[in-house]
Structure 1
Amino acid sequence: MNAALEILVCALLLGGGAFALVGSWGLAKLGDFFKRLHGPTKASTLGVGGVLLASMLYQAMQGTPSLRELLITLFLFLTAPVSAHLLAKAAMALDPRVRPDPPRDDEAA
């Protein structure tokens, strides 16, 4: 059982690191502001969540469970989408040309 948990911790660390790397790469390489929002809010959030989950499992295996990582994960999953939404709304308020077109009514067209 202990070996299975260690393999799970390693998998979570590798997966979290991969997601964080992809999110950072997207932030650096994508050209548009709105495209760059997806890197840190989606992939990096999953990456940090995977690393924190691995840390929680490792602490539990050591016999000293910690709620600190759980609180960090909850805070991250609550604040990242809200901050991205506010950044997108601020960008649309500064430049109204980037607003998407309103949906069309196909029946009237």
Structure 2
Amino acid sequence: MPLYLEIIVCVSLLIGGAFLLVGSYGLVRLPDIYMRLHSPTKASTLGITGVLLASMVFQSHLKGFLSIQELLITLFLLITAPVAANMIAKTALHQRTKPLDKTENQALMETVRDREAPKPPQD
């Protein structure tokens, strides 16, 4: 394997590992569910992207052609992680999970929770 590819793989793994470490630490240390959602969805998604990018470069070199599986996994994660975080946040909101007292705009939580679904248009 050429030196420049080894450097790309190593840097990508280090950056991905750093993001994963920060995401894991944030998940453990942040105080409430609304703050905890930010850490795994942002940092961990970037971390997995770095690891899969390194795998894609390595596998492409071994096979001799572009490895597309890692790219598809990365795309799937980039699409589904924010949607999953949004669903978890909505569940916490409707279960009336209390945020920290220092959280700003808590009145907006009540407004969003109590709003009604849009009505279908009348013909």
Same fold (TM over 0.5): yes
Q: Which residue of 2 aligns with 1:105?
A: none
One-letter amino acid of the structure 1 residue matched with residue 46 of structure 2: L
Structure 1 residue 7 corresponds to structure 2 residue 13: no
Q: Where do 5+ consecutive residues of structure 2 fail to align?
A: 100-104, 109-123
Taking structure 1 as reference, are residues 96 and 25 closer, same or farther at Cα in structure 2, changes over 3 Å only?
closer
Residue 66 of structure 1 and its aligned partner are, at CA, apart by: 2.1
What is the CA–CA distance in structure 1 between the aligned matches of 2:35 and 2:18, rounded to whole Å? 19
Greater C-alpha radius of gyration:
2
TM-score, normalisation: structure 2: 0.75
Q: Where do 5+ consecutive residues of structure 1 fail to align?
A: 103-109
| Correspondences of 1:4-43 after superposition (within 5 Å) | 4-43=4-43
Taking structure 1 as reference, are residues 97 and 51 closer, same or farther at Cα in structure 2, changes over 3 Å only?
closer
Structure 1: 4+ residue segments shifted above 6 A: none
Structure 1 residue 94 corresponds to structure 2 residue 95: yes
Residue 100 of structure 1 and its aligned partner are, at CA, apart by: 3.6
Identity %: 56
Taking structure 1 as reference, are residues 33 and 97 closer, same or farther at Cα in structure 2, changes over 3 Å only?
closer
One-letter amino acid of the structure 2 residue matched with residue 77 of structure 1: L
What is the CA–CA distance in structure 2 between the aligned matches of 1:38 and 1:21, rounded to whole Å? 14
TM-score, normalisation: structure 1: 0.84
- How many positions carry a matched residue from both structures? 102
